[in-house]
Amino acid sequence: MYCDEDIEFDEALEPRDPKEFVIADLTTSLKTISFDIWRDYDKDELRTMKSLMEEGKLQEDHAAQLLFMYFFPKFHRMLAHLLSAKHHKKADIAEWYIYWKSRIPEVLLTRIDVKDQLLTALRSMHTFLLNSKKKPAPRPIPSKREVPVPTPDLRRMSIAKWIEILAAQHDIAFAPIAGKRFESHQLYRIGDEKVYFLDKVVYMYDGSAKKYSPTSPSTLINRCL
């Protein structure tokens, strides 16, 4: 025996408009659409949209809204990924773009807002092609900062001892060259340079002039760094 509540319950169980279910399925498929360049192209989510529009079950504005909410955001993200990935060829990316543009229902392609989305994608591709043709600007060689070297009191130590201290402070190899002398003066190796000491002066070998010339401790240390 039915009561009023039973009647209300039965009415609530009446099937909804099938169109609502179809559009809900379309929305779900657009949310999960795969833009992978190697995707299964037999699966065509936008074909469903086109069919619904042709059958009058999906209005143009509603279809465009679905594209803006679920299709184009993922479309642009995937395009950016493809352009940044070095293993994708330009021809493959162009083919990918043409494919997805061709899947959009033609009536939507006439809309200004849809055209703007596609133009944005084309600009991204154009900018990428221009940048890929430009040769990277050479990096400027940073100027070498000269290390300040204090002036010692050579009345209390020899110039050789002072150079030895400076070399240790700056982690520069310094040692006498065994069995090597110049005009009876012991030769030393400091870094890649050869030097000898006379009185309070450092003499460094000049490879281009092929002779020893006087130099300052500051010049010597900075040359070895």
Q: What is the pLDDT of residues 184-222, one digit of tens each?
A: 999 999 999 999 999 899 999 998 999 999 999 999 998
Note whether 213 and 206 are within 8 A (CB). yes
Name beta bridge partners: 194. Answer: 189
pTM for the full predicted model: 0.49
pLDDT of residue 143: 66
pLDDT top residue among 104 and 136: 104
- Domain ranges for the chain: 18-132, 159-224
Query: Is pLDDT larger for residue 149 or for residue 137?
Result: 149
Per-residue pLDDT tens digits for 73-109: 888 888 888 888 777 788 888 888 888 898 899 999 9
In the three-class reduction of DSSP (H, G, I as helix; E, B as strand; rest coil), residue 218 is classed as: helix
Give the Å distances, CA to CA, from 202 to 25, 155, 205, 222. 87, 16, 10, 14
| DSSP H or E stretch at residue 133 | helix 112-133
Q: Give CA–CA dist 173/140, Å, rounded.
A: 30
Closest by CA position to 74, among listed 121, 38, 41, 108: 121
Looking at residue 85, the DSSP 8-state letter turns out to be: -
pLDDT value at residue 140: 73
